Amino acid sequence: MGMTRIVTVTLNPAIDKIVEAPRFNVGKHLPARRIGLHPAGKGINVAKFLAMLGSRCVATGLIGRDELSRFEEYLERVGDRRITTQLLVVRGQTRENITIVDPVMDTETHIRERGFKVHRDDVRRITSKIGMLAREDTIVVFAGSMPEGVTPGDFRSMLHRCQDHGAQIVVDAGTGLIEALRDEPVWMVKLNAEELAAMSGLPTDSEEQTIEAARSVSSSGGGAVTHVIATRGAEGACFIGPDIAVLARIFVHPGLIANTVGCGDALLAGVLHEWCRSGRWRDALRYGLATATAKAVSRTPGSFDIAEIAGFCETAMMEDIVAATGK
């Protein structure tokens, strides 16, 4: 593979606060222990995980003025200087998300703030910035939700800037932007079951349904997306593309799972890191799933032990979809 630059775009970043509250019960006064507090947002996470794996990248997007230095210092530290941070300041405060982990009941409760409101000049600035960063040797990753003030039409304009400059587009942006993605010739999307159901209009309750839905939105099934990664939580993921149609899963005892926040971002970072390195999709999916698993079992919020990835790669079960479905 030649040199490929990766740019992550985070339009609605967050500060993730993770607390542990045994026997969490709504409406009660409970003791809790803070186990994590760090800058985040899906695109920020992808950039951080790429850097931890050894890939250089550019992290752009929007950020509240008061939080800019905090994000820059954090990404420089955890990214070991592999991340070039080019966030644009907006009026307003960066949102804070709270995850409540209950180790006794084995549950995670996620509380998400809406985030700042952006203005039209902010939209113009970030659209222009994305256009300057996009080029033929670049993968542009749009990850995370849209803040108030950014419309689906604005999002499509950003995609079109990338397309006009020949960049490959990856989208992991949630159900709110599914309609904006429809009929867009995107290189890759990563979708969970809910997002895949919304985009395909098909059920995704079973493995077979997930495969059929992923095929329907892919270019091989008449859709506009070249590559589709459909995640199924603990059941793994399926990957549909012109050169790959695979189911993958890594079995881990549920008692070893520490925190699943950011696992999807770790999976995407692992897939892109390995594909840029080897150009082999099957290896990329295996490595991405192993990275996500290492993140899930990590006791350090927002991080993983890179030494564990190789072992998880070895235990990954990869199954050809044609053989799996009998088609």
Domain ranges of the chain: 1-21+34-186, 190-327
* Same topology between domain 1-21+34-186 and domain 190-327: yes
Task: Give CA separation, 143 vs 255, 265, 292, in Å.
Answer: 29, 9, 16
d(CA 327, CA 322): 5
Using an 8 Å Cβ cutoff, are 288 and 260 in contact?
no
- Provide CATH code, domain 190-327: 3.40.1190.20
Which CATH topology does 1-21+34-186 take? Answer: UDP-N-acetylmuramoyl-L-alanine:D-glutamate ligase (3.40.1190)
Assign 162 a pLDDT band (cuts: 50, 70, 90). Answer: very high
Q: In terms of pLDDT, which residue wins out, 223 or 168? A: 168
| 191-237: pLDDT as tens digits | 999 999 999 999 999 999 999 999 999 998 888 999 999 999 999 99
Q: Where are the alpha helices (DSSP H) in the chain?
A: 42-53, 68-78, 120-133, 152-164, 178-181, 193-200, 207-217, 263-278, 281-297, 309-315, 321-325
| 13-37: pLDDT as tens digits | 999 999 999 999 999 998 999 988 9
d(CA 11, CA 159): 13
The pLDDT of residue 98 is 95
d(CA 195, CA 204): 10
Q: Rg of the chain over CA atoms, in angstroms?
A: 19
